[in-house]
Every structure is written in structure tokens, then in C-alpha cells.
A and B are shown apart, each in its own frame.
Chain A
């Protein structure tokens, strides 16, 4: 048994830099130490949040085109022409006119190619796995957390109004739940930096997190269920709301709950009792 994990160890775990032997030792410790488990999850989530926050600046299309053109133009003599700017770190506007003409020609000639490249850049970090991972991490964090939900109630008429003023959308909760299923409470959380409701259910002794957030493109979210790290992760949409349900419960029972939540959204216009 080792002592509490050091900061460096937690960082190495989040960065996937531990050797197999060390990883096994750490995992054994995490199985018995709730404090370190919570810290490990938090390190992982901070890393994830920092990664997103750090992706802040994007080059202009004009700059990308210019760089592409300059690389190709300088294939025989690797000498990139400078950006035309008097205050440049590297002044030099000698071939400004020719460079501008070449850039214009390249814009026309390479526009389709740029679109292809842009799509490739977009596909590097697709939304799907990231949001599934984020929802899964949050669910696991809520399992490990000792803190109570922000709203504790099995009454949907208590849970739903609690979100008034906290979320830029509204949703409905199913009134009749399947046998053995109960509403435990809810949290206000964020998925991909957008506010979301984390609804906490229990199916038997299995905990379920259902995340609801406003859909950025209603009707375009594909419904699917995947298994990730032993958990069932179901993604769905209902009107202007998209959701993700996470649990280690039997897939059919999770699907029943998801179906009821989707069905409840059709009552969104009806006033709550």
C-alpha cells in the first residue's frame, strides 16, 4: 500500500505517462482511496478543461493560404516571402505586388483544397468522443464525490423548478418511472462549456446520470448507445434538447429511462403542477 498519491503522480496519471508497473500500483491505491480517486478525476478534468481553453486562437484563412502558397512557391529555393508589414519582425516588401498577385491566384486555385484541409482540421478533435468522455468523467466524479447533489429530491416538481434561471432552456421529467427507478436529485453542470442539467437517478443500486443541454443544432444529434469503460453511454435528442445518459446498469433498463425522458419532452409546453 502506498501513501496518498503525490501531485507529480496525479499529473503523470492524467497525462498517461505512468509505466505499466506504476500504473498498476496507482490503480490498486485508487480502488481503496476515495480522496485520491477524486483528486485523480479532478486532475483529469482540469487537464481536459485547460486543453479546451488553450485552443483559443486560429489563423486566418488568408494566412493559411499565404503559408501554403509560399511553401509551394519555394520548393526549389526554400525562401519564404515575408508578410507585407512595415512593423514586421522581418521587414521586406520588395515583392509585395507579385506576392499579392500570387496569393490572389492561389486563393482562386486552392479554395476547394482549403475546404478539404479545413474539414480535416475539424475532424481531428470531433465532438462525439470528447463529449462522451466528459459526460462519463462527470458521472464517475459524482459517484466518487462525497458532496450531496445541489438539489436533493425525488419529486420532479421540485427538481425541475430548481433550474429556473440557471439554464437557458426548460425540460420535463417523466412522472411515472419504471419499478425500481427513482429520481435522487440534480446538479447544474457544464458539458463542453455549455450549461447542462445533470439529473441523478437510481435504478436499483445503480446510479444514473442524465445530462440535458440545449441542442446547438436541433434534429442533427444521432441517437446511439456505446459502452465505455464498463459504462453504458446513451446519447439522444428530443426537440431542442440533447441528452446523454451514463450508467453501469443493464442497457435495456437505461434505454427504458431514456425513452421516458424523451417522451416527457413532448409535454414541455404543458404547465408543471
Chain B
């Protein structure tokens, strides 16, 4: 089994805390933001981040200097969430088998051209100034789709780093990004349609 970069060698630093602090503290707002999106609760988000820092500090000696610390600590956050009560509850609501089956198709290069809706300019999605509608749409995404949106768009991570965080192949990252954005577009379109119908009524 191939070990992840930060697990390949175990090194101890004489002053790990100062280094850890300089790497981790700037990421605190980002970690908290993602934790809140995933857990949907302030206290759970704080607990999640706190537990993540605890695990990261404990395991900081195994972190390979020069590799991507952000991906490393986000992976810890994500794994911590998945084993928390809210994470387990959220993942139970997702049909992961369907998810993975479709991802395998995408990973083989069978990208769904039909997923592109070239009418979307007419749907005024280009006026994406409605932050509340977008946030509401994101809230309706399943955790596997939401987390890839958060990592890719909000945290601006590269696909290879997202693959490390989620522990999935890059091809699956690509397909999941496509599926997440398509799902978000569908949700927003449904909201817009519903809103128009309400207005007309």
C-alpha cells in the first residue's frame, strides 16, 4: 500500500508548535467555515475545528515539510467530520453507491455533454449576485457534492489537493466537481422557477 506523502517519513521537530501555529492559525477561518457548512451548527463546528487542531498537533511530527499543509489539515477535518455524529447522520442520507457508480463512469472519461445547459444565459444565472439563493442552493447539496464545491470554489484548491483531502482519484474529483455544479445549477433553477411561479400567483 502506498503511503500518503505526509505519512512516508516520521520526523520530529524541536519546535513544532511555533511552526504548527504559523501554518494552522491562518487556516482557522477557512476550517471553521467549511466545518460550519458541513455540520450546520456553531458548537459542532467549533468542536470539529478544535478536534482537528488537536489531531493535527499530535500528528504534526508526521507531516512532511514542503508538502501541502492545507490539504493535510483539511483531510483531518473531513475525516473528523465523517466520524462525528453529524457527519455520520449526514452521510447516512446519501446514496453513496449511486454516487460512486456515476463517478466511475465520469472517471472513465464519459463526461455527460448533456449536463451542459446552453440555455442557462436565458435563465439569468449570469446574474449570480443573489448570494442568498446560492447559499440556499448549497445547503441543499448532499455532503459529497457540497464538500467538493467548498474545497474547489471556496478554498480554491487544485484537483490534486482535493483528491488528497477526499482520498479519491483526480478523475473522480473532476466528475464530482461537474456533478456538484450541475446539481447546484438545477437547485437554483428550481428556486428561480418556484420564485417566478409564486410571483405570478
Contacts and interface: CB of A to CB of B under 8 A. Distances in A.
Interface string B57-76: 11010000000000000000
Interface stretch (B4-12, B92-100, B108-116, B189-197): B108-116
A233 B43 CA distance: 44
Closest 10 CB pairs of A and B: A190-B129, A49-B128, A54-B154, A75-B17, A53-B134, A57-B36, A59-B32, A8-B111, A50-B153, A80-B54
A58 B153 contact: no
B149 to A, nearest CB: 6
Nearest to A82: B50
A221 B8 CA distance: 50
Interface in B24-39: 24-26, 28-29, 32-33, 36-37
Contact of B37 (A47, A56, A83): A56
Given A42-B121, A50-B149, A121-B26, A4 B113 contact: yes
A38 B117 CA distance: 12
Contacts of B53: 67, 70-71, 80
Contact of B131 (A46, A52, A82, A90): A52
Interface of A: 4, 6-12, 15, 17, 35, 38-39, 42-43, 45-59, 63-64, 67-68, 70-72, 74-75, 78-80, 82-83, 85, 87-90, 117, 120-121, 124, 141, 145, 147, 189-190, 193-195
Contacts of A79: 54
Contacts of A78: 17, 54, 57-58, 60
A42 B126 contact: yes
Contacts of A87: 43
Contacts of A120: 26
A193 B131 contact: yes
Nearest to B173: A17
Interface residues of B, number: 63
A7 B153 contact: no
B158 A17 contact: yes
A80 B159 contact: no
Nearest to B136: A53
Nearest to B174: A8
A49 B21 CA distance: 31
Which of A11, A43, A117 has the most chain B CB atoms inside 10 A of its CB? A11
B33 A55 contact: yes
Contacts of A7: 111-113, 115-116, 178, 181-182
A124 B30 CA distance: 12
Contacts of A42: 120-121, 125-126
A92 to B, nearest CB: 11
Interface in B153-181: 153-154, 156, 158-159, 174-175, 177-178, 181
B44 A15 contact: no
A83 B50 contact: yes
Contacts of A46: 125, 128, 181, 184-185
A49 B134 contact: yes
A90 B181 contact: no
Contacts of A145: 121
